C-alpha cells in the first residue's frame, strides 16, 4: 500500500525531528558519563564530539546505500531504529566496564560512542529521501524542511535532557528512556509502513518493554564507576541532578566519610581538629590573619565542614554560601556534624553559580572570602581561578579583607593571584590574598582557643603542643607566593585568564594516557 506524498513528507519530518532529539540527547548523556569516568577532565567533551561526528558520518554512508537498494524505505527506517535501540541497550550494559582509565577501555568507549551515534546517523539520508519532493522545483524546499526539523529536534533534545530529565532521573534511567523512545519510534514507523506481520513488531516491542523497566529500575552504572570502586569502602550516598553527580564513600570512621563531586575528591565530612582529616587548619588560619572577621563569603558549600568551622570563629555575624549544586545541601542534612549549619540564622545558602552571584551583588563586601576550589586541571576550573574572576573577588573584599583559595599546588594559580593582589602568601596548598600585608594577629593563640565547633572548643589543649595542628597554625612560616615560585625548579608559570584557560589546557591530564601529551605545553 502506497502512502500519499504529503503524508510521507509529514512522516519524514516527524522522523527527522525525533531522531535529532534522541541523538543529541544521547550525546549529552555520553558527555555526562565520560566526564564522570574521567573525573571531569576537560577533554571529555571533545572526545565525545569527535566520536559522535565520526559515527554520524559513517552512518550516513550506510544510509545512502540503503536508499539506493531498499524497495521500502519506511520499513528500512523502522528496522534501523530497532537496531539502534538494541545497540543502545548493549551500550548501557557495557558502560561500567568501559568507563575506566586503561587505554583499551577508552578505545572501546570511543568505538561504542561512534556506533550508537552512527546507528541513528543511518536515518538522516533515509528521512531526507522520504521527505524530498519528486518535483525538481520543490526539492530544495522539501529538503530544507526535513533539515530544519532535524535541527529543531537536535536543539530541543539537549535542553530537555540537560535541564529537566537529568534533574529528575538518574543518567542510567534517562539512557533507558532513550532506548524505549527509539523502540517506540520503530513501532510507529512499522505501523506507518503498513507492516502486518506480528513478528516484525516483536523486537521493538520487547526493547520498548526493557527500556521502560530500566527507566524505573535503572542499572547501577555510576555506582560501579564511582571512586573508590574497590575494596571494603561502600558507597553510602549517591545524588544525581542536572548540575552533576555527588557520592559519598564510608571510611569506617577513620577521619569521616569522603565526598566526591563528579567522581573527584571533594573533602571529608569531618570537623574534628584532633584528626584534621579535612585539613581545616587552612580555614582556621584566616581567623588569626584578620583582625576582626564579621562577614564571610564561602564559594562552594561542598561537605559543609568549612562553613561549620567558620561559624565558630569569634565575632562572625554572617556567612553567605554560594553553591551551584543543591545536592550538597541535601547531603549535609544527613550528617549531624555539619547539618546544624543549615538552620543557623547567620548562614544564607544561595543556590547559584559563584561568579554570576558575585556579579549580581556588586555592593556586597566581606572580611573573608573562602573557596576550597577543586583540582585545577578539571574542566571549568578556570572560571574560579582566572585573573578576571579574582579581580571580581577583590572588588567584594571590605578594607583589609582577605581571600583564600585552594591552588591544588598549581603554580599558575599563585602567579594569577599575584597579578591581582598586592600581597599573596602560601600556607599548605592555599593562597591567601589581600591588598594589605598578611601576618598573624598578636593574640592568635587566644583566637584559636576561642574558636568553637558544636559549642565546644575546636582545639583541645594538647593540640597547641609541638608539632600538633594548633602549634603549626601559630608557627608555620607564611611563605610569600613570589618566593614559592622562585624556589620551584620548573619554568616560569603563566597567568590564567578566561581566554587562555591555562590551567585546563596545560594540566588537563589527557585521558589518552600520554598519547596526546606532546601537544600540550610543559607542566608548570
Express each pLDDT in 292-350 by its tens digit: 999 999 999 999 999 999 999 999 999 999 999 999 999 999 999 999 999 999 999 99
Q: Which residues contact 394 (CB under 8 A, 6 or more apart)?
A: 403, 420, 421, 433, 435
Q: What's the pTM?
A: 0.91
Distance, CA of 181 to CA of 19 (rounded, Å): 10
Q: What is the DSSP letter of 523?
A: P
Decide if 389 contacts 396 (C-beta within 8 A). Answer: no
Decide if 331 contacts 303 (C-beta within 8 A). Answer: yes
CA-based angle 397:470:405, to the nearest 5? 30
Decide if 473 contacts 288 (C-beta within 8 A). Answer: yes
Q: Which residues contact 94 (CB under 8 A, 6 or more apart)?
A: 108, 112
- Rounded (10°) angle between helices 5-37 and 171-192: 160
Sheet order of strands, 347-351 included: 347-351, 318-323, 295-299, 366-371, 397-406, 430-434, 423-427, 479-480
- The 10 Å Cβ neighbour count of residue 319 is 23
- The 10 Å Cβ neighbour count of residue 519 is 7
Q: What is the CATH number of domain 271-518?
A: 3.40.50.150
Distances (CA, A) of 62 to 65, 79, 109: 5, 13, 21
- The 10 Å Cβ neighbour count of residue 446 is 11
- Rounded (10°) angle between helices 171-192 and 198-216: 160
DSSP per-residue codes, 45-87? HHHHHHHHHHHHHHHHHHHHHHHHH-S-HHHHHHHHHHHHHHH
Distance, CA of 13 to CA of 522 (rounded, Å): 50
Q: Which residues of the chain have pLDDT under 70?
A: 1-3, 133-139, 195-196, 229-232, 251-254, 490-491, 507-524
Phi/psi-derived region of residue 486, left when phi > 0, alpha when psi is between -120 and 50, beta in every other case: alpha
pLDDT number for residue 209: 96
Looking at the domain covering 5-220, what would its CATH class be? mainly alpha
Domain-wise residue ranges, the chain: 5-220, 225-266, 271-518
Decide if 214 contacts 207 (C-beta within 8 A). Answer: no
- Which residue matches cell numbers 503498513? 194
Distance, CA of 355 to CA of 433 (rounded, Å): 18
In the chain, % helix, strand, coil (3-state, to 5) comes to: 55, 15, 35
Question: pLDDT tens for residues 314-324?
Answer: 999 999 999 99
Distance, CA of 32 to CA of 219 (rounded, Å): 16
Cell numbers that stand for 299 in this block: 564559594
The widest CA-to-CA distance across the chain, in whole angstroms, is 93
Cell numbers that stand for 217 in this block: 529500575
Q: Which residues contact 440 (CB under 8 A, 6 or more apart)?
A: 288, 289, 474, 478
Decide if 36 contacts 99 (C-beta within 8 A). Answer: yes
Phi, psi of 404 (to 5 degrees): -135, 135
Query: Helix (H, G, I), strand (E, B), or coil: what is residue 307?
Result: helix
Closest by Cα among 245, 85, 242 to 165: 242
Amino acid at each position: 500500500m502506497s502512502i500519499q506524498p504529503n503524508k510521507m513528507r509529514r512522516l519524514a519530518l516527524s522522523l527527522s525531528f525525533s531522531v535529532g532529539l534522541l541523538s543529541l540527547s544521547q550525546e549529552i548523556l555520553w558527555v555526562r558519563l565520560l566526564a564522570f569516568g574521567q573525573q571531569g577532565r576537560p577533554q571529555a567533551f571533545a572526545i565525545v564530539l569527535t566520536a559522535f561526528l565520526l559515527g554520524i558520518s559513517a552512518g550516513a554512508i550506510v544510509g545512502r546505500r540503503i536508499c539506493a537498494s531498499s524497495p521500502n524505505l519506511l520499513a528500512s527506517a523502522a528496522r534501523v531504529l530497532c537496531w539502534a535501540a538494541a545497540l543502545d541497550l548493549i551500550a548501557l550494559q557495557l558502560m561500567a566496564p568501559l568507563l575506566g582509565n586503561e587505554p583499551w577501555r577508552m578505545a572501546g568507549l570511543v568505538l561504542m560512542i561512534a556506533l550508537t551515534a552512527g546507528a541513528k546517523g543511518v536515518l538522516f539520508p533515509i528521512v531526507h529521501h522520504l521527505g524530498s519532493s519528486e518535483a525538481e522545483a520543490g526539492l530544495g524546499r522539501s529538503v530544507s524542511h526535513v533539515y530544519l526539523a532535524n535541527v529543531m529536534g537536535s536543539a530541543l533534545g539537549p535542553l530537555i535532557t540537560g535541564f529537566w530529565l537529568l534533574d529528575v532521573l538518574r543518567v542510567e534511567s534517562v539512557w533507558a528512556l532513550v532506548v524505549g523512545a527509539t523502540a517506540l519510534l520503530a513501532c510507529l514507523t512499522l505501523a506507518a509502513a503498513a507492516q502486518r506481520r506480528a513478528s516484525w513488531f516483536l523486537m521493538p516491542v520487547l526493547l520498548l518493554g526493557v527500556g521502560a523497566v530500566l527507566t524505573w529500575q535503572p542499572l547501577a552504572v555510576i555506582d560501579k564507576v564511582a571512586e573508590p570502586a574497590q575494596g571494603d569502602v561502600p558507597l553510602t550516598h549517591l545524588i544525581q541532578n542536572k548540575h552533576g553527580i555527588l557520592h559519598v564513600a564510608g571510611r569506617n570512621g577513620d577521619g569521616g566519610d569522603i565526598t566526591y563531586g563528579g567522581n573527584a575528591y571533594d573533602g571529608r565530612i569531618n570537623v574534628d581538629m584532633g584528626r584534621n582529616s579535612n585539613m581545616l587548619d587552612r580555614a582556621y588560619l584566616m581567623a588569626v590573619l584578620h583582625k576582626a572577621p564579621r562577614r564571610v563569603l564561602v564559594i562552594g558549600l561542598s561537605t559543609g565542614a568549612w562553613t561549620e568551622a567558620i561559624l565558630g570563629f569569634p565575632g562572625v555575624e554572617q556567612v553567605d554560601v554560594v553553591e551551584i549544586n543543591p545536592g550538597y545541601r541535601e547531603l549535609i542534612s544527613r550528617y549531624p556534624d555539619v547539618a546544624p549549619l543549615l538552620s543557623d540564622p547567620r548562614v544564607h545558602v544561595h543556590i547559584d553559580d559563584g561568579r554570576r552571584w558575585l556579579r549580581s551583588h556588586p555592593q556586597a563586601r566581606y572580611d573573608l572570602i573562602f573557596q576550597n576550589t577543586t583540582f585545577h586541571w578539571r574542566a571549568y576550573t578556570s572560571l574560579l581561578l582566572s585573573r578576571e574572576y579574582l579581580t571580581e573577588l577583590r572588588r567584594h573584599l571590605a578594607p583589609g579583607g582577605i581571600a583564600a583559595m585552594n591552588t591544588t599546588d598549581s603554580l599558575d594559580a599563585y602567579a594569577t593571584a599575584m597579578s591581582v593582589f598586592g600581597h599573596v602568601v602560601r600556607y599548605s596548598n592555599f593562597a591567601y590574598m589581600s591588598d594589605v600585608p598578611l601576618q598573624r594577629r598578636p593574640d592568635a593563640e587566644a583566637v584559636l582557643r576561642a574558636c568553637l565547633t558544636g559549642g565546644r572548643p575546636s582545639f583541645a589543649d594538647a593540640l597547641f603542643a609541638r608539632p600538633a595542628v594548633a602549634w603549626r597554625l601559630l608557627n608555620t612560616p607564611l611563605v610569600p607566593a613570589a618566593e614559592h615560585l622562585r624556589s620551584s625548579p620548573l619554568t616560569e608559570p603563566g597567568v590564567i585568564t578566561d581566554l587562555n584557560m591555562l590551567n585546563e589546557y596545560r594540566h588537563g591530564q589527557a585521558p589518552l594516557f600520554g598519547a596526546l601529551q606532546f601537544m600540550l605545553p610543559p607542566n608548570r
